[in-house]
């Protein structure tokens, strides 16, 4: 008969899997198990769907993919067969007859001793698991070396199905929850509140293991943690860093209490947002096999912060900045762009666009004869720049980083097939005022893991001057838009909060401006559908979270 232990050392694996790289994720898991064994761990807790990477989306509809994942789980079991090492809790997508489940396997000493399936499948925001998975049955505890473990999977602790309470009623002694919870601003506090609710209801401690890494638009920030049954924070792992942490749990009066674990600090919001953008860009570039990136450095704030993010994420040698001046480009912008590139230490080229723009205008001269110059001619400038950047991309294999912020993307102040050209946009979900805040923050701080220099990397003249696309003489953004603090507040009310226009007007905004911004937001949907993916920072980004029809005549009047 197995003696009931009074000490349990649990390794929480906060790692960065790659979706679809089953062999690579298996190898990463084995290295983590070896490391946990060296530190005397009894159990290694991996994150949700670790073997497949999360979220695998429609990959799980391919039988061959599910077979590879199942084979990886069998190989993990074989790996532990002749070793007196730690047990494993690891997530994978599972074929079960004619059903597919988001599952975990519990492996110990060469055997898969239990399988549990996710009960509550999320179907909101960035999640659409009901498309590809079937809900599992309400789980019971797993007997692991004499300790009854409850293993609720991600949404099982977020939803209202009382999975944790059921596990407690069935005799679970401690809850271990593998998660794939993407970042948005202040998400750590939200997770803490979710877990505290479950701890209070179940009267059990809970370990929350969260994935790390960028996956297309989503960034998983780690920040794994645990709460004791008495509602005290048992341990807190770092945010945005790949790590394996050991926590020691002791049975005291039939209650498991954490006696030893990491106590990391969570970054403040500007640092967290910046590091999320940096991690998202780094993983998108590296996981998709790009050797380097290129961007148009205009002398404006958006391209400057994207350049800083690229250097911080990838290193100065992997970024090429290109200034693409036209007759309306100011001397100040030329100086600012050069100073920014110099401060970052990256390659800087100048490619004038006078000849290609005039070539387009000449070709269209007869057709445009008798018409007034306006937005069409301005867009030709932007599209000429886009063509040149894409040519550089094709010639040298560099991914184009596109640089439009959320304020611009919201109201359509971006040129399709022009400045919207690119493979990825690290600031796509940052409003203009947030771009300014992060730029000021970066000038005084170097985030952990950044490869860029310290000091002022975004010249203050860029931050202080009036923003302008410089597509006509003396142009500024505020010629046709309200001041950015006003615009951003209206947009946040419309997009994140889904407020009525009446309620937004009641906040003190002018009625005509609110209705105009709402109109611009809706008619720009077709542009956003064709925009590059970008890091999710807010609760409702364009793309996975907010899915509005392109053809849409609704106006809130």
The distance between the two most distant Cα atoms of the chain, rounded to a whole number of Å, is 95
CA–CA distances in Å: residue 416 to residues 122, 359, 419, 514, 530:
33, 20, 7, 24, 8
* Whole-angstrom distance, CA of residue 194 vs CA of residue 207: 12
Q: Regarding beta strands 87-96 and 43-45, do their DSSP bridges make them parallel or antiparallel, or are they unpaired? A: parallel
Q: In the numeric block, which tokens belong to residue 248?
A: 């020691």
Q: What are phi and psi of 382, to 5 degrees?
A: -65, -40
CA 540-541-546 angle, 5° bins: 70
* Whole-angstrom distance, CA of residue 195 vs CA of residue 152: 11
* Whole-angstrom distance, CA of residue 215 vs CA of residue 220: 8
Instruction: Judge contact between 388 and 352, C-beta under 8 A.
Output: no
Instruction: Judge contact between 323 and 297, C-beta under 8 A.
Output: yes
Q: Give the torsion sign (CA, 193, 194, 195, 201).
A: positive
Give burial (CB, 10 Å; 0-12/13-18/19+) of 515: middle
| Residues near 118 by beta carbon (within 8 Å), at least 6 away in sequence | 101, 102, 103, 129, 133, 135, 136, 153, 154, 155, 156
CA–CA distances in Å: residue 316 to residues 179, 323, 341:
34, 17, 9
* Whole-angstrom distance, CA of residue 477 vs CA of residue 299: 15
Of 496, 428, 545, the closest CA to residue 126 belongs to 545
Catalytically active residues, by annotation: 48, 118, 154
The alpha-carbon radius of gyration of the chain (Å, integer) is 26
516 sits in the region (left: phi over 0; alpha: psi -120 to 50; else beta) called: alpha
Q: Across 134-199, where does the E strand assignment appear?
A: 142-144, 147-150, 174-179
CA–CA distances in Å: residue 126 to residues 59, 217, 342:
16, 10, 39
């Amino acid at each position: 008969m197995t003696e009931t232990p009074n000490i349990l050392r649990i390794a929480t694996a906060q790692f960065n899997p790659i979706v679809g790289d089953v062999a690579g994720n298996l190898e990463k898991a084995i290295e983590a198990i070896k490391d946990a064994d060296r530190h005397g761990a009894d159990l290694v807790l991996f994150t949700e769907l670790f073997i497949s990477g999360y979220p695998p989306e429609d990959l799980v509809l391919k039988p061959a993919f599910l077979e590879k994942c199942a084979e990886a789980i069998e190989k993990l079991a074989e790996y532990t067969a002749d070793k007196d090492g730690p047990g494993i809790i690891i997530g994978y997508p599972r074929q079960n007859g004619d059903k597919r489940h988001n599952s975990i396997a519990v492996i110990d000493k060469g055997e898969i001793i239990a399988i549990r399936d996710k009960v509550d499948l999320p179907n909101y925001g960035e999640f659409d698991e009901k498309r590809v998975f079937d809900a599992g049955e309400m789980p019971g505890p797993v007997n692991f070396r004499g300790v009854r473990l409850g293993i609720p999977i991600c949404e099982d602790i977020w939803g209202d199905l009382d999975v944790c309470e059921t596990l407690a009623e069935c005799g679970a002694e401690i809850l271990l929850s593998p998660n794939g919870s993407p970042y948005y601003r202040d998400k750590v506090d939200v997770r803490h509140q979710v877990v505290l609710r479950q701890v209070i209801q179940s009267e059990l401690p809970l370990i929350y293991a969260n994935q790390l890494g960028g996956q297309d638009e989503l960034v998983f920030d780690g920040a794994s943690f645990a709460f004791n049954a008495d509602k005290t924070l048992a341990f807190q792992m770092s945010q945005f860093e790949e790590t394996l942490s050991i926590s020691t749990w002791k049975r005291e009066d039939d209650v498991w209490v954490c006696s030893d674990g990491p106590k990391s600090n969570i970054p403040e919001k500007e640092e967290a947002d910046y590091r999320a953008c940096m991690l998202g860009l780094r993983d998108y570039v590296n996981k998709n096999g790009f050797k380097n990136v290129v961007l148009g450095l205009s002398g404006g704030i958006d391209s400057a912060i994207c350049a800083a993010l690229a250097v911080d994420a990838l290193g100065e040698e992997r970024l090429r900045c290109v200034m693409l001046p036209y007759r309306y480009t100011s001397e100040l912008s030329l100086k600012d762009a050069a100073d920014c590139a110099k401060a970052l230490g990256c390659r800087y080229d100048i490619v004038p666009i006078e000849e290609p723009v005039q070539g387009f205008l000449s070709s269209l001269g007869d057709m445009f004869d008798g018409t007034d110059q306006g937005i069409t001619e301005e867009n030709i400038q932007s599209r000429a720049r886009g063509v040149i950047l894409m040519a550089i991309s094709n010639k040298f294999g560099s991914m184009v980083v596109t640089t439009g912020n959320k304020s611009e993307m919201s109201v359509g102040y971006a040129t399709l097939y022009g400045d919207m050209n690119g493979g990825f946009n690290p600031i796509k979900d940052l409003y203009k005022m947030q771009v300014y805040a992060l730029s000021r923050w970066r000038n005084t701080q170097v985030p952990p893991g950044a490869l860029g220099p310290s000091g002022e990397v975004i010249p203050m003249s860029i931050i202080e001057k009036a923003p302008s696309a410089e597509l006509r003489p003396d142009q500024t953004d505020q010629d046709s838009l309200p001041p950015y603090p006003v615009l951003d507040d209206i947009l946040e009310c419309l997009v994140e909060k889904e407020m009525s226009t009446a309620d937004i007007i009641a906040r003190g905004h002018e009625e005509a401006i609110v209705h105009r911004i709402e109109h611009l937001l809706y008619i720009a949907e077709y542009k956003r559908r064709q925009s590059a993916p970008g890091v999710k920072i807010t609760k409702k980004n364009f793309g996975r979270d907010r899915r509005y029809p392109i053809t849409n005549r609704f106006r809130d009047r």
